Amino acid sequence: MAATVQKKIKESAGDKAFLFTIYLVLGLVVIAVLYPLIFIISSSISSPAAVTSGRVWLWPVDISFKGFEVLFKTPEIITGYANSIFYTAAGTLISVTLTVMIAYPLSRKGFFGRNTLMMIITFTMIFNGGLIPTYLVVREMNLIDTRWALLIPNAIWVWQVIIARSFFQSSIPDELMEASEIDGCSDMRFIWSVVLPLSKPILAVLVLMYAVGQWNAYFDALIYLKSADLFPLQLVLRSIIIQNNSAGGAMDVGKMVEKQQLSELLKYSLIVVATLPVLVIYPFVQRYFVQGMLVGSVKG
Amino acid sequence: MKHWQLHLLVIPPLLFFLIFKYYPMVNAVLAFKDYNVIKGIWGSPWVGFKNFQLFFENPQFWILVKNTIMLSGYQLLAGFPIPIILALMINEVRGGRFKKFVQLVSFAPYFISTVVMVSIVMLFLAPRLGFVNIALNFFGLDSVNFLGEPGMFRSIYVWSDIWQTAGYSAVVYLAALAGIDPTLYEAAKVDGASRFQKIRHVDLPGIVPTIVIILILNVGNVMAIGFEKVYLLQNPLNLANSEIIATYVYRVGLLNANYSFATAVGLFNSIINLILLFTVNGLAKRITKNSIW
């Protein structure tokens, strides 16, 4: 009964209006976020003429998959796509492995040098040598213009180490380790057969964050790579959309106008192709991202 | 040693940090040298603060500092409160479905890459075929070459960034809101607080520690504003406002191979940033008792 009384107190006219305003604003936020995304997807499957004449407002006009057809016949895009898949897979594997290798020992209380090591790595979050000195190191290691340049120099993100470390700290108790030690289990074996199987949630977070980061990255490729056949998709995208170097120069489209229309359409299709892999899995994995952010912020 | 295997395990990651994070810090002595490719970093002659002096006397110096601070200042002023407001609003929604949907949608743009984000901005703001200009023409207004106007650059940068990251940034505040002691709400209810008063007197004070920490991190990064997006949005027409220290370092250092000078500029930037971070953290510690260390 107390609950019903409280409800009556709460719902004054002012509160109702206030709540209504909040719903209205949030509704507008949703529209403001979704509209550009829907517009791009609609444009990408409309006819080239409809896109350039501004006839697409919300839904596709004269549905056509011309953009995608041309894209998948453009060698630089195919190469870029394949490269990005490789960088994402290999980079994620390397990054997650290295992150666990340092985060787990850092989570053990008995680990000698734990605080010093933690300081060594967190300091890199607030200070770095800068662009040129880093570039010179990468050059000295002979990594310039090799695939390794995108996999190694930024392999470990300190933030991910902190997140993984807090997870290990809270879900793998030191007592468990001590118990297995008494049973004669080595640290390596303990990690392999106890820690990793118990850490699937955090491994999921690490894999997702590193994979998205790697898929979306362009900066390292911009500074370290020279050969076009090593370029990830993002760099190809930059060249075609932002620098306006028209893709598919070899397509046999007779008229100038048609060619222009098609190159405009291609930009929309390219955005869709480059973003879809991430946005399609996103609704299913969102909660892992949120978890990851929160684990990190607890320890702050 | 008891945990020798763990120490073995740490060696590769530690090497990573030493080689790719600490070795560059050592290399930063380049800022005090006159780099010569043949002699290498250590063989090149020392020149003291000459590179810094060159930078301070450069007519571009104040423009770069101004552009950097104006851009991140604007970003901070607009971009910092919005996620807080968004989180407070989402927190008011009681229906589980709508709440989840708003969160799902507003979080999504975070996963769009910088290149795609800038591509979208450019497509929407294109002078002739861009959606915004077509809409302007529809209402009888003249087209605007948004990206060619230096005065528009900062707004484009900041508001596209808010579009992309507000939902993501709100998550931390939502978590803090979820952690507020429920008895406080009951007390507020008993006292007859309206929804707005409840936000003002319970929600906001409850998330102040989180706000302060995020603010420290943001202010501490004022000089480190991202190179990636600024560089992509730059064009010769808007350069007057869009050239910041980070993009200048890239241009002078990597494109013109003026290594020593660019290292000095970068170092100047990092040090200012470090000082800022310590100052803000110290201030926050004193005023609010919250700090990141």
Q: How confident is the model at residue A299 (pLDDT cuts 50, 70, 90)?
A: very low
| Residue A279 vs residue B291, higher pLDDT | A279
Stretch B4-19: mean pLDDT? 93
Least confident of A94-103, A243-252, A289-298, B249-258: A243-252
Given a cut of 60, is residue A24 above it in pLDDT? yes
Supply the angle between the helices B96-107 and B81-92 in degrees, to the nearest 10: 160
Q: How confident is the model at residue B220 (pLDDT cuts 50, 70, 90)?
A: confident
Query: What's B142's DSSP letter?
Result: P
Q: Which of B36, B113, B197 to mutate to test the interface with A (most CBs of A within 10 A)?
A: B113
CB B82, CB B173: distance < 8 Å = no
Regarding predicted confidence, which is higher, A243 or B124?
A: B124
Phi, then psi, of B46 in degrees rounded to 5 = -75, 140
Comparing B116 with B193, the larger pLDDT belongs to B116
Instruction: Give me the total of CB pairs closer than 8 Å, taking one residue from chain A and one from chain B.
Output: 250
pLDDT (0 to 100) of residue A85: 95
Assign domain A76-298 one CATH number from 3.40.50.720, 1.10.3720.10, 3.40.50.1100, 1.20.1430.10: 1.10.3720.10
Facing B228 at nearest CB: one of A188, A219, A264: A219
Q: How far is B91 from chain A (nearest CA, A)?
A: 10
The token duo for A33 is: 């976020």
Nearest to A171 by CA among A219, A205, A221, A215: A205
- Residue A184 sits at the chain B interface (C-beta within 8 Å): no
Q: Is A125 on the interface with B (CB under 8 A)?
A: no
Q: Are the C-beta atoms of A163 and A171 separated by less than 8 Å?
A: no
CB atoms A40 and B26 under 8 Å: no
pLDDT reported for residue B17: 96
User: What is the rounded CA–CA span in Å between residue B260 and residue B31?
Assistant: 5
Partner-chain contact B20 A152, CB within 8 Å: yes
Please write the tens of the pLDDT for every residue from A222-262: 999 999 999 999 999 998 888 877 655 545 555 677 777 88
| Residues counted in chain B | 293
Residue B149 has pLDDT above 90, yes or no: no
Both structure tokens of B94: 């009681």
> What does the CA dihedral B77, B56, B260, A127 come to, rounded to 10 degrees?
-30
Q: Are B2 and A116 in contact (CB under 8 A)?
A: no
- Looking at residue A23, its pLDDT comes to 92
Q: Residue A10 has what pLDDT?
A: 53
Find which of B7, B119, B247 to mutate to test the A interface (most A CBs within 10 Å of its CB): B119
For residue B36, the SS3 value is: coil
Confidence of residue A73 (pLDDT cuts 50, 70, 90): confident
What pLDDT is stored for residue A281 in this prediction?
Answer: 83
* pLDDT over 70 percentage in chain A: 90
Average pLDDT, chain B: 88
Please tell me the predicted confidence (pLDDT) of residue A1: 42
Distance from C-alpha of A153 to C-alpha of B16, rounded to nearest angstrom: 8
- Which among A253-262, A283-292, B37-46, B63-72 has the top mean pLDDT? B63-72
Rounded CA-CA distance B136/B195 in Å is 39
CB B284 within 8 A of CB B290: yes
Three-state SS across B213-227? HHHHHHHCCHHHCCH
* pLDDT, tens digit (0-9, with 9 covering 90-100), for A189-220: 888 888 899 888 889 889 988 999 999 999 99
Q: Which of A6, A127, A286 sits opposite B189 (nearest CB)?
A: A6
With cut-offs at 50, 70 and 90, classify the pLDDT of residue A89.
Answer: very high
- Asked if A39 is an interface residue toward chain B (Cβ–Cβ < 8 A), one would say yes
Chain A residue at shortest CA distance from B293: A300
Question: Which residues does A120 contact at the CB level (< 8 Å), separation at least 6?
Answer: B14, B17, B22
Percentage of residues of chain B with pLDDT beyond 90? 34
Which chain A positions have a beta carbon within 8 Å of B171's beta carbon? 290, 293-294
User: So what's the pLDDT on residue A287?
Assistant: 77
- What residues of A are in contact with residue B269 (Cβ under 8 Å)? 130
Which pLDDT does position A253 carry in this prediction?
Answer: 52
How would residue A136 be classed by pLDDT, with cut points 50, 70 and 90? very high
Contacts of B28 in chain A (CB under 8 A): 129-130, 133
Neighbours of B15 (CB within 10 A): 11
**Cβ-nearest to A22 among B92, B129, B232:** B92
Taking an 8 Å cut-off on Cβ atoms, the answer to whether B113 and A155 are in contact is: no
Q: What is the pLDDT of residue A255?
A: 64
The pLDDT assigned to A21 comes to 92
Contact across the interface for A136 and B167, Cβ inside 8 Å: no
- pLDDT of A7 above 70: no
Instruction: Quote the radius of gyration of chain B (alpha carbons, Å).
Output: 24
The region of weakest confidence among A127-136, A140-149, A255-264, B65-74 is A255-264
pLDDT of residue A296: 55
Instruction: Output the pLDDT for position B45.
Output: 87
- Asked if residue A91 has pLDDT above 60, the reply is yes
Residues A117-149 as b/e (b if ≥16 CB within 10 A, e otherwise) read bbeebeebebebbbbbbbbbbbeebebeebbbb
Is A218 within 8 Å of B228 when comparing Cβ atoms? yes
Residue from A252, A261, A248 nearest A62 by CA: A261
Average pLDDT score over residue span B17-37: 91
* Minimum Cα–Cα distance from A6: chain B residue: B189
Top residue of A132, A165, A168, A291 to mutate, by most chain B CBs within 10 Å, is A132
A95 has pLDDT over 80: yes
* For B277, nearest residue in chain A (alpha carbons): A126
Give the separation between CA A128 and CA A183, rounded to whole angstroms. 44
Q: How far is CA B115 from CA A219, A254, A262, B91, B214, in A?
A: 10, 31, 21, 32, 26
Are residues A127 and B270, on separate chains, in Cβ contact within 8 Å? yes
Contact A197, A203 (CB under 8 A): no
Which value does ipTM take for this structure? Answer: 0.86
Confidence tier at A74 by pLDDT (50, 70, 90): confident
DSSP per position, B177-211:
HHTS-HHHHHHHHHTT--HHHHIIIIIHHHHHHHH
Question: Confidence band (pLDDT; 50, 70, 90) for B256?
Answer: confident
Q: Given an 8 Å threshold on Cβ–Cβ distance, is B123 in contact with A268?
A: yes
Q: Find chain B residues with C-beta within 8 A of A132's C-beta.
A: 30, 249, 253-254, 259, 262-263, 266
Position A246 scores a pLDDT of 62
Q: How far is A63 from chain B (nearest CA, A)?
A: 19
A273, B113 in Cβ contact below 8 A? no
- Region B224-228 average pLDDT: 80
Q: Which residues contact B17 (CB under 8 A, 6 or more apart)?
A: A120, A121, A124, A156
- pLDDT on residue B166: 93
Whether residue A296 contacts residue A162, with contact meaning beta carbons closer than 8 Å, is answered with yes
Alpha helix segments (H runs only) across chain B: 4-17, 23-27, 40-43, 50-57, 60-79, 81-92, 96-107, 114-125, 131-138, 150-178, 182-190, 195-198, 204-219, 227-233, 239-242, 245-249, 259-288
